[in-house]
Amino acid sequence: MTEVYNFNPGPSPIPAPVLKKAKEEMFNYENSGMAVMEMSHRSPLYEKIHYQAINQLKELLSVPDDYEVLFLQGGASLQFAMVALNFLPENKEAAYVLTGSWSEKAAKEAQTLGNVTTLATSESNQFKHIPEVDLSKVTEKTAYIHLTSNNTIYGTQWSSFPKEPAVPVIIDMSSDILSRSIPWNDVDMIYAGAQKNAGMSGVTIVIMKKSLLESANDKLPPSLSYKQHASKDSLYNTPPTAAIYITSLVTDWIKGLGGVEEMQRLAKQKADLIYSVIDGSSGFYTGHAEPEARSKMNITFKLTNENLEKEFLTQAKNTGFIGLNGHRSVGGCRVSTYNAVPLNHVEKLKSFMETFMKKNA
Ligand code: PMP
Protein backbone atom coordinates (compact mmCIF):
# COMPACT_ATOMS: atom_id res chain seq x y z
CA MET A 1 0.00 0.00 0.00
CA THR A 2 1.36 3.43 -0.89
CA GLU A 3 1.36 5.96 1.93
CA VAL A 4 -1.05 8.83 1.38
CA TYR A 5 -1.25 12.17 3.11
CA ASN A 6 -4.96 12.86 3.33
CA PHE A 7 -5.92 16.55 3.29
CA ASN A 8 -9.52 15.99 2.23
CA PRO A 9 -11.99 18.71 3.25
CA GLY A 10 -14.54 16.21 4.54
CA PRO A 11 -15.02 13.38 4.99
CA SER A 12 -11.43 13.58 6.10
CA PRO A 13 -8.93 11.58 8.16
CA ILE A 14 -10.06 9.70 11.22
CA PRO A 15 -7.30 9.25 13.82
CA ALA A 16 -5.33 6.05 13.05
CA PRO A 17 -5.73 4.73 16.64
CA VAL A 18 -9.51 5.11 16.26
CA LEU A 19 -9.57 3.10 13.03
CA LYS A 20 -7.35 0.48 14.65
CA LYS A 21 -9.63 0.16 17.69
CA ALA A 22 -12.73 -0.03 15.48
CA LYS A 23 -11.03 -2.77 13.47
CA GLU A 24 -10.12 -4.73 16.59
CA GLU A 25 -13.64 -4.44 17.94
CA MET A 26 -15.37 -5.02 14.62
CA PHE A 27 -16.35 -8.68 15.04
CA ASN A 28 -16.69 -8.87 18.79
CA TYR A 29 -17.48 -5.68 20.65
CA GLU A 30 -16.83 -6.23 24.37
CA ASN A 31 -17.39 -9.98 24.09
CA SER A 32 -20.87 -9.55 22.69
CA GLY A 33 -20.01 -11.64 19.63
CA MET A 34 -21.32 -8.76 17.51
CA ALA A 35 -20.16 -5.61 15.79
CA VAL A 36 -21.55 -2.35 17.18
CA MET A 37 -23.58 -1.83 14.00
CA GLU A 38 -25.28 -5.17 14.46
CA MET A 39 -26.61 -4.36 17.92
CA SER A 40 -30.03 -3.13 18.87
CA HIS A 41 -30.02 0.58 19.58
CA ARG A 42 -32.11 -0.32 22.63
CA SER A 43 -29.47 -2.69 24.05
CA PRO A 44 -27.53 -1.73 27.19
CA LEU A 45 -24.24 -2.20 25.34
CA TYR A 46 -25.21 0.32 22.64
CA GLU A 47 -26.73 2.70 25.17
CA LYS A 48 -23.41 2.78 26.99
CA ILE A 49 -21.67 3.94 23.80
CA HIS A 50 -24.41 6.49 23.11
CA TYR A 51 -24.27 8.13 26.53
CA GLN A 52 -20.51 7.93 26.67
CA ALA A 53 -20.28 9.87 23.41
CA ILE A 54 -22.68 12.48 24.77
CA ASN A 55 -20.84 12.77 28.07
CA GLN A 56 -17.41 13.00 26.48
CA LEU A 57 -18.56 15.76 24.14
CA LYS A 58 -19.93 17.59 27.19
CA GLU A 59 -16.65 17.16 29.00
CA LEU A 60 -14.40 18.13 26.09
CA LEU A 61 -16.43 21.19 25.14
CA SER A 62 -17.21 22.21 28.76
CA VAL A 63 -20.91 22.15 27.91
CA PRO A 64 -22.89 23.70 30.80
CA ASP A 65 -25.62 21.63 32.53
CA ASP A 66 -28.36 23.74 31.02
CA TYR A 67 -27.47 22.55 27.50
CA GLU A 68 -28.64 19.43 25.71
CA VAL A 69 -26.49 17.30 23.33
CA LEU A 70 -28.36 15.67 20.44
CA PHE A 71 -27.31 13.21 17.74
CA LEU A 72 -29.32 13.76 14.59
CA GLN A 73 -29.15 12.68 10.96
CA GLY A 74 -29.46 14.46 7.62
CA GLY A 75 -26.08 16.18 7.87
CA ALA A 76 -25.46 19.77 8.80
CA SER A 77 -27.65 20.60 5.79
CA LEU A 78 -30.79 19.33 7.49
CA GLN A 79 -29.97 21.65 10.38
CA PHE A 80 -30.20 24.58 7.94
CA ALA A 81 -33.90 23.74 7.70
CA MET A 82 -34.50 22.40 11.22
CA VAL A 83 -33.15 25.58 12.82
CA ALA A 84 -35.72 27.67 10.95
CA LEU A 85 -38.53 25.15 11.38
CA ASN A 86 -37.98 25.09 15.13
CA PHE A 87 -37.01 28.70 15.88
CA LEU A 88 -38.39 31.00 13.19
CA PRO A 89 -42.03 31.87 13.84
CA GLU A 90 -44.12 33.66 11.20
CA ASN A 91 -44.06 37.06 12.89
CA LYS A 92 -40.27 37.15 13.29
CA GLU A 93 -37.17 37.26 11.13
CA ALA A 94 -33.86 35.42 11.35
CA ALA A 95 -30.57 37.33 10.97
CA TYR A 96 -27.86 35.53 8.98
CA VAL A 97 -24.21 36.49 8.73
CA LEU A 98 -23.01 35.52 5.25
CA THR A 99 -19.37 34.43 5.15
CA GLY A 100 -19.43 31.95 2.30
CA SER A 101 -21.31 29.22 0.53
CA TRP A 102 -22.41 27.28 3.60
CA SER A 103 -23.88 30.27 5.39
CA GLU A 104 -25.62 31.25 2.14
CA LYS A 105 -27.07 27.77 1.87
CA ALA A 106 -28.22 27.94 5.49
CA ALA A 107 -29.93 31.27 4.81
CA LYS A 108 -31.52 29.99 1.58
CA GLU A 109 -33.08 27.01 3.33
CA ALA A 110 -34.42 29.26 6.09
CA GLN A 111 -35.85 31.63 3.45
CA THR A 112 -38.15 28.88 2.23
CA LEU A 113 -39.62 28.73 5.71
CA GLY A 114 -39.78 32.32 6.95
CA ASN A 115 -38.33 35.82 6.91
CA VAL A 116 -34.58 36.10 6.67
CA THR A 117 -32.37 39.19 6.81
CA THR A 118 -28.65 39.61 6.22
CA LEU A 119 -27.03 40.92 9.39
CA ALA A 120 -23.58 41.22 7.78
CA THR A 121 -21.81 39.86 4.73
CA SER A 122 -18.33 39.68 3.24
CA GLU A 123 -19.58 38.77 -0.23
CA SER A 124 -18.34 41.99 -1.89
CA ASN A 125 -14.82 41.03 -0.83
CA GLN A 126 -15.10 37.46 -2.19
CA PHE A 127 -15.58 36.26 1.39
CA LYS A 128 -11.96 37.03 2.26
CA HIS A 129 -12.76 38.39 5.71
CA ILE A 130 -15.23 37.99 8.57
CA PRO A 131 -17.54 41.02 8.56
CA GLU A 132 -18.17 43.24 11.60
CA VAL A 133 -21.52 42.44 13.19
CA ASP A 134 -23.53 45.45 14.30
CA LEU A 135 -25.65 44.10 17.14
CA SER A 136 -27.71 47.32 17.20
CA LYS A 137 -29.37 45.98 14.01
CA VAL A 138 -30.93 43.22 16.10
CA THR A 139 -34.52 44.12 16.96
CA GLU A 140 -37.35 42.56 18.93
CA LYS A 141 -38.39 40.98 15.62
CA THR A 142 -35.11 39.05 15.37
CA ALA A 143 -35.66 35.39 16.21
CA TYR A 144 -31.99 34.41 16.21
CA ILE A 145 -28.59 35.16 14.69
CA HIS A 146 -26.98 32.44 12.56
CA LEU A 147 -23.32 32.26 11.63
CA THR A 148 -20.75 29.77 10.31
CA SER A 149 -17.67 29.63 12.54
CA ASN A 150 -15.31 28.19 9.93
CA ASN A 151 -15.81 28.65 6.23
CA THR A 152 -14.63 25.39 4.75
CA ILE A 153 -14.61 26.59 1.14
CA TYR A 154 -13.11 30.10 1.46
CA GLY A 155 -10.77 29.27 4.36
CA THR A 156 -11.82 31.91 6.84
CA GLN A 157 -12.73 31.50 10.50
CA TRP A 158 -14.27 33.63 13.21
CA SER A 159 -11.67 34.20 15.93
CA SER A 160 -14.38 35.31 18.38
CA PHE A 161 -18.17 35.55 18.30
CA PRO A 162 -20.56 38.47 18.93
CA LYS A 163 -20.53 39.38 22.62
CA GLU A 164 -23.68 39.54 24.76
CA PRO A 165 -26.18 39.26 21.92
CA ALA A 166 -29.80 40.07 22.83
CA VAL A 167 -31.12 37.07 20.88
CA PRO A 168 -30.02 33.43 20.55
CA VAL A 169 -26.86 32.83 18.53
CA ILE A 170 -26.79 29.62 16.47
CA ILE A 171 -23.49 28.52 14.96
CA ASP A 172 -22.68 26.00 12.24
CA MET A 173 -19.40 24.53 13.52
CA SER A 174 -19.21 21.70 11.01
CA SER A 175 -15.59 22.34 10.14
CA ASP A 176 -14.08 23.46 13.44
CA ILE A 177 -15.95 21.66 16.23
CA LEU A 178 -13.55 20.15 18.79
CA SER A 179 -10.68 22.34 17.58
CA ARG A 180 -11.57 25.34 19.75
CA SER A 181 -13.37 26.08 22.99
CA ILE A 182 -16.90 27.47 22.81
CA PRO A 183 -17.90 30.60 24.80
CA TRP A 184 -21.26 29.25 25.95
CA ASN A 185 -22.24 32.56 27.58
CA ASP A 186 -22.68 34.00 24.09
CA VAL A 187 -23.68 30.86 22.19
CA ASP A 188 -27.11 29.21 22.40
CA MET A 189 -26.73 26.43 19.89
CA ILE A 190 -24.08 24.81 17.72
CA TYR A 191 -24.35 22.05 15.16
CA ALA A 192 -21.81 20.08 13.16
CA GLY A 193 -21.68 17.12 10.84
CA ALA A 194 -19.19 14.72 12.43
CA GLN A 195 -17.22 13.92 9.28
CA LYS A 196 -14.41 16.45 9.68
CA ASN A 197 -13.30 16.73 13.31
CA ALA A 198 -15.65 14.43 15.18
CA GLY A 199 -15.74 11.12 13.34
CA MET A 200 -17.51 9.86 10.25
CA SER A 201 -20.48 11.06 8.24
CA GLY A 202 -23.94 10.00 9.34
CA VAL A 203 -24.27 11.78 12.66
CA THR A 204 -24.80 15.49 13.24
CA ILE A 205 -23.93 16.83 16.66
CA VAL A 206 -26.33 19.46 17.97
CA ILE A 207 -25.78 21.20 21.29
CA MET A 208 -28.39 23.67 22.48
CA LYS A 209 -29.42 25.62 25.52
CA LYS A 210 -32.44 24.08 27.23
CA SER A 211 -34.23 27.43 27.38
CA LEU A 212 -33.90 27.73 23.58
CA LEU A 213 -35.14 24.15 23.21
CA GLU A 214 -38.20 25.00 25.30
CA SER A 215 -39.02 27.84 22.91
CA ALA A 216 -39.02 25.51 19.86
CA ASN A 217 -42.08 25.11 17.66
CA ASP A 218 -44.03 22.14 19.02
CA LYS A 219 -46.35 21.75 16.05
CA LEU A 220 -43.77 20.06 13.85
CA PRO A 221 -43.68 16.51 12.54
CA PRO A 222 -41.90 14.69 15.40
CA SER A 223 -38.92 13.66 13.28
CA LEU A 224 -38.13 17.35 12.61
CA SER A 225 -38.72 18.50 16.16
CA TYR A 226 -35.78 19.17 18.48
CA LYS A 227 -38.13 18.72 21.43
CA GLN A 228 -39.05 15.24 20.25
CA HIS A 229 -35.43 14.13 19.75
CA ALA A 230 -34.36 15.68 23.06
CA SER A 231 -37.18 14.07 25.01
CA LYS A 232 -35.95 10.66 23.81
CA ASP A 233 -32.21 11.34 24.30
CA SER A 234 -31.76 11.10 20.48
CA LEU A 235 -33.22 7.58 20.53
CA TYR A 236 -36.63 8.56 19.11
CA ASN A 237 -35.82 6.53 16.02
CA THR A 238 -32.77 4.40 15.16
CA PRO A 239 -29.76 6.67 15.50
CA PRO A 240 -26.67 6.24 13.28
CA THR A 241 -25.13 3.82 15.76
CA ALA A 242 -21.87 3.17 13.91
CA ALA A 243 -21.18 6.87 13.45
CA ILE A 244 -21.92 7.59 17.11
CA TYR A 245 -19.57 4.76 18.08
CA ILE A 246 -16.79 6.34 16.00
CA THR A 247 -17.50 9.72 17.63
CA SER A 248 -17.15 8.06 21.05
CA LEU A 249 -13.73 6.72 19.98
CA VAL A 250 -12.68 10.10 18.55
CA THR A 251 -13.61 11.83 21.79
CA ASP A 252 -11.58 9.20 23.71
CA TRP A 253 -8.63 9.96 21.44
CA ILE A 254 -8.92 13.73 21.95
CA LYS A 255 -9.18 13.27 25.71
CA GLY A 256 -6.08 11.09 25.68
CA LEU A 257 -4.10 13.78 23.89
CA GLY A 258 -5.06 16.50 26.34
CA GLY A 259 -8.45 17.72 25.16
CA VAL A 260 -9.67 20.57 23.00
CA GLU A 261 -6.97 22.92 24.28
CA GLU A 262 -4.35 20.62 22.77
CA MET A 263 -6.35 20.35 19.52
CA GLN A 264 -6.39 24.16 19.40
CA ARG A 265 -2.64 24.37 19.92
CA LEU A 266 -1.95 21.73 17.27
CA ALA A 267 -4.35 23.37 14.80
CA LYS A 268 -2.40 26.63 15.06
CA GLN A 269 0.93 24.85 14.76
CA LYS A 270 -0.15 22.97 11.63
CA ALA A 271 -1.82 25.94 9.95
CA ASP A 272 1.18 28.18 10.69
CA LEU A 273 3.46 25.77 8.82
CA ILE A 274 1.50 26.24 5.59
CA TYR A 275 0.80 29.97 6.06
CA SER A 276 4.52 30.49 6.62
CA VAL A 277 5.26 29.00 3.18
CA ILE A 278 2.60 31.22 1.59
CA ASP A 279 3.88 34.35 3.35
CA GLY A 280 7.51 33.59 2.53
CA SER A 281 6.86 32.83 -1.15
CA SER A 282 6.99 36.41 -2.52
CA GLY A 283 3.67 35.88 -4.28
CA PHE A 284 4.35 32.40 -5.71
CA TYR A 285 1.52 31.21 -3.45
CA THR A 286 -1.23 33.74 -2.64
CA GLY A 287 -3.57 33.11 0.27
CA HIS A 288 -7.28 33.80 -0.27
CA ALA A 289 -8.22 34.83 3.27
CA GLU A 290 -7.12 38.13 4.78
CA PRO A 291 -4.48 37.31 7.42
CA GLU A 292 -6.66 38.16 10.44
CA ALA A 293 -9.48 35.93 9.13
CA ARG A 294 -7.33 32.91 8.30
CA SER A 295 -8.77 29.53 9.12
CA LYS A 296 -6.78 27.03 11.15
CA MET A 297 -8.68 24.20 9.49
CA ASN A 298 -8.82 25.01 5.76
CA ILE A 299 -5.95 26.92 4.16
CA THR A 300 -6.84 28.26 0.72
CA PHE A 301 -4.40 29.66 -1.83
CA LYS A 302 -3.68 30.10 -5.51
CA LEU A 303 -0.54 29.91 -7.62
CA THR A 304 0.42 32.58 -10.14
CA ASN A 305 -1.40 30.97 -13.05
CA GLU A 306 -3.76 28.11 -13.74
CA ASN A 307 -1.23 25.95 -15.60
CA LEU A 308 1.21 26.11 -12.72
CA GLU A 309 -1.62 25.34 -10.33
CA LYS A 310 -2.56 22.27 -12.37
CA GLU A 311 1.06 21.12 -12.37
CA PHE A 312 1.27 21.67 -8.60
CA LEU A 313 -1.88 19.64 -7.97
CA THR A 314 -0.78 16.84 -10.31
CA GLN A 315 2.68 16.56 -8.78
CA ALA A 316 1.20 16.72 -5.29
CA LYS A 317 -1.22 13.92 -6.10
CA ASN A 318 1.58 11.79 -7.59
CA THR A 319 3.57 12.29 -4.37
CA GLY A 320 0.67 11.04 -2.24
CA PHE A 321 -0.97 14.32 -1.16
CA ILE A 322 -4.72 13.79 -1.43
CA GLY A 323 -7.53 16.34 -1.46
CA LEU A 324 -5.63 19.56 -2.24
CA ASN A 325 -7.95 20.83 -4.97
CA GLY A 326 -9.92 23.90 -3.99
CA HIS A 327 -13.71 23.54 -3.91
CA ARG A 328 -15.12 23.29 -7.44
CA SER A 329 -16.93 26.62 -6.92
CA VAL A 330 -13.76 28.65 -6.25
CA GLY A 331 -10.83 26.66 -7.71
CA GLY A 332 -7.28 27.09 -6.40
CA CYS A 333 -5.86 24.87 -3.70
CA ARG A 334 -7.02 24.01 -0.21
CA VAL A 335 -5.18 22.25 2.60
CA SER A 336 -7.51 20.91 5.27
CA THR A 337 -5.67 20.35 8.52
CA TYR A 338 -8.36 18.93 10.78
CA ASN A 339 -7.62 17.41 14.19
CA ALA A 340 -6.77 13.96 12.84
CA VAL A 341 -4.25 15.19 10.24
CA PRO A 342 -0.83 14.30 11.68
CA LEU A 343 1.68 17.11 12.16
CA ASN A 344 4.32 15.21 10.14
CA HIS A 345 1.97 15.07 7.12
CA VAL A 346 1.72 18.85 7.22
CA GLU A 347 5.51 19.10 7.55
CA LYS A 348 5.87 16.88 4.47
CA LEU A 349 3.45 19.07 2.53
CA LYS A 350 5.36 22.18 3.61
CA SER A 351 8.61 20.74 2.17
CA PHE A 352 6.82 19.70 -1.00
CA MET A 353 5.46 23.25 -1.45
CA GLU A 354 8.93 24.73 -0.86
CA THR A 355 10.61 22.35 -3.31
CA PHE A 356 7.93 22.95 -5.96
CA MET A 357 8.45 26.69 -5.57
CA LYS A 358 12.24 26.45 -5.90
CA LYS A 359 11.86 24.47 -9.13
CA ASN A 360 9.17 26.66 -10.66
CA ALA A 361 9.60 30.23 -9.39
N1 PMP B 1 -21.56 23.58 6.88
C2 PMP B 1 -20.25 23.58 6.69
C3 PMP B 1 -19.42 24.67 7.31
C4 PMP B 1 -19.66 22.58 5.92
O5 PMP B 1 -18.32 22.59 5.72
C6 PMP B 1 -20.46 21.57 5.36
C7 PMP B 1 -19.91 20.42 4.56
N8 PMP B 1 -18.73 20.55 3.97
C9 PMP B 1 -21.84 21.63 5.57
C10 PMP B 1 -22.35 22.63 6.35
C11 PMP B 1 -22.77 20.60 4.98
O12 PMP B 1 -22.64 19.46 5.70
P13 PMP B 1 -23.39 18.11 5.31
O14 PMP B 1 -22.78 17.61 4.08
O15 PMP B 1 -23.11 17.25 6.52
O16 PMP B 1 -24.83 18.43 5.16
User: What gap in Å lies between CA 272 and CA 295, rounded to an integer?
Assistant: 10
Among 235, 257, 279, the domain-final residue is 257
User: What gap in Å lies between CA 185 and CA 171, rounded to an integer?
Assistant: 13
Output the CA 66–ligand 1 centroid distance in Å: 26
Residues 235 and 204 in one domain: yes
Predicted local distance difference test score (pLDDT) of residue 308: 97
Strand partners, 190: 171, 207
- Residue 72 backbone phi and psi in degrees, to 5: -120, 175
The answer to whether 195 and 12 are in contact (CB under 8 A) is yes
102 is catalytic: yes
Residues of the domain holding 302: 260-360
184 is catalytic: no
Ligand 1 pocket mutation pick from 152, 176, 190, 334 by most atoms within 8 angstroms of CB: 152
Residues 104 and 191 in one domain: yes
User: What gap in Å lies between CA 64 and CA 66, rounded to an integer?
Assistant: 5
Q: What is the CATH number of the domain that holds 300?
A: 3.90.1150.10
Among 257, 284, 299, the domain-final residue is 257
Ligand 1 and 243: CB distance under 6 A = no
Distance of CA 25 to the CA centre of its chain: 27
Residues 238 and 306 in one domain: no
Ligand 1 and 77: CB distance under 6 A = yes
Residues 214 and 75 in one domain: yes
Question: Closest Cα to residue 205, out of 237, 159, 173, 157?
Answer: 173
The answer to whether 53 and 247 are in contact (CB under 8 A) is yes
Predicted local distance difference test score (pLDDT) of residue 2: 74
Predicted local distance difference test score (pLDDT) of residue 196: 98
Predicted local distance difference test score (pLDDT) of residue 329: 83
Residues 306 and 247 in one domain: no
Q: What is the mean pLDDT of each run of 10 residues along the chain (361 residues)?
A: 90 98 97 97 98 98 98 98 98 98 98 98 97 96 98 98 97 98 98 98 98 97 98 98 98 98 98 98 98 98 96 98 93 97 98 98 91
Residues 98 and 242 in one domain: yes
Output the CA 126–ligand 1 centroid distance in Å: 19
Ligand 1 and 175: CB distance under 6 A = yes
According to the 3-state scheme, what is the secondary structure of 289-358? CCHHHECCCEEEEEECCHHHHHHHHHHHHHHCEECCECCCCCCCEEEECCCCCCHHHHHHHHHHHHHHHH
Please report, for residues 62, 71, 187, 237, 260, the alpha-carbon distance to residue 181 in angstroms, rounded to integers and kept in the order given. 8, 20, 11, 31, 7
Question: Closest Cα to residue 241, out of 91, 45, 77, 66?
Answer: 45
Residues 143 and 110 in one domain: yes
Residues 102, 176, 270, 302: which is the catalytic one?
A: 102
